[in-house]
Structure 1
Amino acid sequence: MPTTSAPDEHLRLEGIGVSFGAVNVIPSLDLSVRKGEMVAFLGPSGCGKTTTLRIIAGLNKPSRGSIMVGGRDITHLPIHDRDMGMVFQSYALFPHMDVSHNVQFGLQMRNVPAREAEKRAAQALEMVQLGHLAHRKPKELSGGQQQRVALARALVIEPSILLLDEPLSNLDAKLRDEMRVQIRALQQQSGITAVFVTHDQVEALSMCDRVVVMRGGHVEQFGTPTEVYERPATAFVANFVGRTNRLKGALTAEGILTGAGQQLRSATRLPAGAVDILVRPHRIRLQETGEADNKVQGTVSTITFIGDLVQYGVSVGGEEIVVEEATRRGRSPLAAGDSVTLGWSAEDTLIYPAGEK
């Protein structure tokens, strides 16, 4: 039975399924996106995130289920009747057109008068700070500039929903950082509902109001970036979103006994039995001297310098625990073979049934 829509719901996927022959790529997916929010589909290759985006756009047809936008059923509408703007991974700009005419193209397809189309294209290009490049061809632009042209072309038609398919994957690291900020600012400025696909957790966490973590055609977790990172629903989410140490252990009435022979504390409510213990590297303190819920002794085995971080591999009872610390000028670094005490809180000790992947 369909569930009642939330008052601010704008996009709804209900029972969406995709089958290719006997293979269920997406068994059944239910999702609600609020008006004006930005939602990311995050997950590894083959998880179904791009297929879902293409179904929303109308590029693929679902085998079952329905798609509602603003209370209207668009499941079987053709692409051009869905009122959506899309930014592709490859940008898909027309090489023979200048920037202005690339942006005007969607308006022309909607029979907007030439003078009005030119005016709206100029406004869209000013919004993405490219008004001065209106008469250049795409080949004369940098990757970041081409990305902004594609974004202006999608926004100029004033779509009901903006769809972005891995929009930053072709940019270098520094430009990705800049474009993340710009795209998020434009989305908030325009108030448009936006959905985008990424395999990059930093993009998802930094740009979005909520994140859909997918695996094998299923939604593992749908929540705010803070919820997904701090309270991962499954071991898969904890491992995929952020870095973790994974230790084997057993949950007892007294606490958690790890394979390294250390008794740890956690806020878990799981029943007694074999468990996997996950702790994020940056939540562990080196050379712990104060009070800590969990303290273990170990020996530094490896040291990796990553500019803003130093990663220490610490051997604890035959298991390796990775610890991350921000680099600080003037601090004497640890050396391989040094003995250290590691400490972290019970709240940062994530516990899942053993073997959950």
Structure 2
Amino acid sequence: MMVERAMTPEAALGTPEGPDHLVLSEVGMTFGTLDVIPSLSLSVRRGEMVAFLGPSGCGKTTTLRMIAGLLDPTRGRISVGGREITHLPVHDRDMGMVFQSYALFPHMTVSQNVAFGLEMRRMAKAEIRSRVERALAMVQLGHLAGRKPKALSGGQQQRVALARALVVEPSILLLDEPLSNLDAKLRDEMRVQIRSLQQQSGITAVFVTHDQVEALSMCDRIVVMRGGHVEQFGTPNEIYERPATPFVASFVGRTNRLSGRVDPSGRLLIEGRPVAAEGRLPEGAVEVLVRPHRMSLRAAAEDQPVGLNSLPGVLTGATFVGDLIQATVRIGGDEITVEQLTRRRSGLPEPGSAVTVAWEAGDTMVYPEGRA
């Protein structure tokens, strides 16, 4: 998986530097004898968009439901803007929610769906009308105000759900896997639109996803969860370029794993060959992780690059995947993947050929063997 940015994620997304707005302090949830979330503490800044990312069962949806008030935490505190809301009912939390299923009322028009939350708050009709018009204009659906949900596309229904959540001007916008029901093209379009709306409104937003591309491309920071614990909380650049654990490195993007050893002098060796890496290395048996698209491949007989790590191997196969060729290479007892642009396909050696795999020292990630 590759997510390209014209500038650093922090600069491109304008990471908010304001005060903490949403604070979870040692929040935990127990179902029966199962500790789903032992203890979770983190803070979300005002105007920031944060993703909870992880595999099924990691606790991300449970965390979102506790923030929303749909689940009562077993322990800990949740506060918004300095006000504790841990045990407040949903309707007293001043939050907007967008669900995976959109949850639109089929018998109501688009404008009636958007107005529903305002009517429940007993606002004046003129104010409701004005807010609904602004919200529909924001999501570019003013021309469809009189339609019923069944007459809308999936992307249009998603935008109605967003307008309904934003029209009440909530303190926090919560999104529960909002793009999972859309096709690939619509997901791409809605990622851009949701992020744009969030930045325009300046609202604090938290969303749950298992899609790494959504998290990397949309948010200011990412909470990577596993087994009810936070593995890492950082910017997209930190998560992708400096993963705290092998799990984070493998879950957020693709990685190759090679077995290595760091000797007492601090040298990293793979198959007895020295390999350069940045930073202090843990002594003993280690796992070396390198992303496939950061590696290059050439025939062993060719001139080898100077100043790069290089290891000899045997090409075992190649798969055409459109814009990339995924070449599999065996190095000692490990098999890795090297991704090269399609235009290089003609120059790829035949399977069974001796090859050399090369990469920069800065792309070498080293972890103690056996670390999760």
1:3 match: none
Q: What secondary structure, in the 3-state scheme, does the structure 2 residue paired with 1:41 have?
A: strand
Deviation at 1:262, TM superposition (A): 3.3
| Equivalent position of 1:266 in the other structure | 277
Select 1:116's aligned residue among 127, 143, 146: 127
Structure 1: distance between partners of 2:284 and 2:338: 27
The answer for the alignment partner of 1:255 in structure 2 is 267
After superposition, what is the alpha-carbon deviation per residue over 1:160-182, rounded to whole angstroms, capped at 9, x for unaligned? 00000001001111111111000
Unmatched tracts of structure 2, length 5 or more: 1-16
Answer whether contact 2:282 2:367 (CA < 8 A) is retained. no
The answer as to whether partners of 1:154 and 1:162 remain within 8 angstroms in 2 is: yes
Check the 8 A contact 1:285/1:344 in 2, yes or no: yes
Larger mean CA deviation between 112-121 and 72-81 belongs to: 112-121
Q: Deviations over 1:57-93 (max 9, x none)?
A: 0000000111110011111111001000000000000
Select the residue among 326, 333, 338 that pairs with 1:323: 338
> Residue 175 and residue 15 in structure 1: after superposition, are their counterparts in 2 closer, same or farther (change >3 A)?
same
Q: Which residue type is aligned with residue 355 of structure 1? A: G
Deviation at 1:7, TM superposition (A): 6.1
What code does the residue aligned with 1:225 have? P
**1:1-20 alignment, distance < 5 Å:** 8-20=19-31
User: 2: CA distance between counterparts of 1:153 and 1:283?
Assistant: 43
1:74/1:82 contact within 8 Å kept: yes
d(CA) in 2 for partners of 1:190, 1:7: 15
In 2, distance between residues paired with 1:119 and 1:327? 53
Which residue in 1 is equivalent to 2:47?
Answer: 36
1:275 alignment partner, one of 283, 286, 292: 286
Residue 328 of structure 1 aligns to a residue in which SS? helix
Post-superposition CA distance 1:167-204 (Å, at most 9, x none): 10011111111110000000000000000000000000
Return the match for 1:290 from 280, 296, 305: 305
Residue equivalent to 2:75: 64
1:250 deviation in Å? 1.3
Return the TM-score normalized by structure 2.
Answer: 0.91
Distance 1:14 1:120 in 2: 35
Q: Once the 2 structures are TM-superposed, how far is the Cα of residue 305 of structure 1 from its aligned partner?
A: 1.3
Give SS of 1:347's match: helix
C-alpha distance in 2 between matches for 1:155 and 1:325: 43
1:92 aligns with 2:74: no
What CA distance in whole angstroms lies between the structure 2 residues aligned with 1:315 and 1:240? 23
After the TM superposition, which of the residue ranges 262-271 and 317-326 deviates more from structure 2? 262-271
The amino acid across from 1:142 in the alignment is S
Partner of 1:128: 139
Structure 2 residue corresponding to 1:191, chosen from 179, 202, 212: 202
SS at match of 1:286: strand
Q: TM-score, normalised by structure 1?
A: 0.95
Q: Is the 8 A contact 2:110 2:147 kept in 1?
A: yes
What does residue 350 of structure 2 align with? 335
Question: Residue 6 of structure 2 corresponds to which residue in structure 1?
Answer: none
- Of the three residues 77, 88, 111, the one matched with 1:77 is 88
Structure 2: distance between partners of 1:294 and 1:242: 21
SS at match of 2:363: coil
The aligned amino acid for 1:338 is: S
Residue type at the aligned position of 2:196: A
Measure how far apart 1:333 and its partner are: 4.1
Mapped partners of 2:167, 2:363: distance in 1 = 45
Q: 1:135 to 1:7 in 2, by over 3 A?
A: closer
Counterparts of 1:154-169 in structure 2 under 5 Å? 154-169=165-180
How many angstroms apart in 1 are the aligned matches of 2:310 and 2:142?
58
Distance across 1 between alignment mates of 2:345 and 2:35: 57
The whole-number CA distance in structure 2 between the counterparts of 1:202 and 1:269 is 30
**One-letter amino acid of the structure 2 residue matched with residue 168 of structure 1:** L
CA contact (8 A) 2:232 2:239 kept: yes
Partner of 2:8: none
Tell whether the 8 Å contact from 2:254 to 2:292 is kept in structure 1 after alignment. yes
Do the aligned partners of 2:259 and 2:334 also contact (CA within 8 Å) in 1?
no
Between the aligned partners of 1:271 and 1:285, the Cα distance in structure 2 is: 26
